[in-house]
């Protein structure tokens, strides 16, 4: 099928209207949160965003380690180690990514 035949098919196809016009364009709350938390949703992360992410994971690792020490619960150390690994990975990614883009 060529372009012209597909264009004709699209032109003759009926447009499906949303079931409820009031909710058209709104998405469930959990999808909105997933979209906000996804660092790759809009575009590739910049070097600055990767540095901030590495710092946040580093702080979270220190907090998890302190909670584990204060609560005398070794299970918190597992979380601290995993968060520290994420901090290192994001830190290394910030050295590889392009610089901050303006605009």
**pLDDT tens digit string along 18-41?**
555 555 556 667 777 776 666 666
Q: Which residue has the higher pLDDT, 10 or 51?
A: 51
Tokens of 92: 């290394």
Tokens of 21: 């016009």
The pLDDT assigned to 78 comes to: 93
Residue 59 to residue 15: CA distance in whole angstroms: 51
In percent, how much of the chain has pLDDT > 70? 58
How many structural domains compose the chain?
Answer: 1
pTM above 0.85, yes or no: no
18 assigned to some structural domain: no
**Residue 77 belongs to what domain range?**
46-103
Tokens of 7: 């264009």
60 assigned to some structural domain: yes
SS3 content of the chain, % helix, strand, coil (to 5): 65, 0, 35
The pLDDT assigned to 37 comes to: 66
31 assigned to some structural domain: no
The pLDDT assigned to 18 comes to: 52
Place of tokens 């012209």: 4
The pLDDT assigned to 103 comes to: 44
34 assigned to some structural domain: no
26 assigned to some structural domain: no
The pLDDT assigned to 67 comes to: 95
- Residue burial 57-76, b: 16+ Cβ < 10 Å; e: rest: bbebbeebbeebeeeeeeeb
């Amino acid at each position: 099928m060529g372009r012209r035949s597909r264009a004709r098919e699209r032109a003759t196809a009926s447009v499906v209207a949303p079931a409820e016009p009031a909710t058209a364009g709104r998405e469930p709350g959990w999808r909105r949160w997933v979209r906000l938390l996804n660092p790759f949703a809009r575009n590739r992360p910049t070097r600055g965003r990767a540095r901030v992410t590495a710092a946040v994971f580093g702080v979270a690792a220190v907090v998890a380690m302190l909670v584990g020490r204060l609560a005398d619960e070794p299970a918190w150390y597992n979380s601290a180690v995993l968060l520290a690994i994420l901090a290192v990975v994001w830190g290394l990614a910030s050295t590889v990514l392009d610089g901050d883009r303006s605009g």
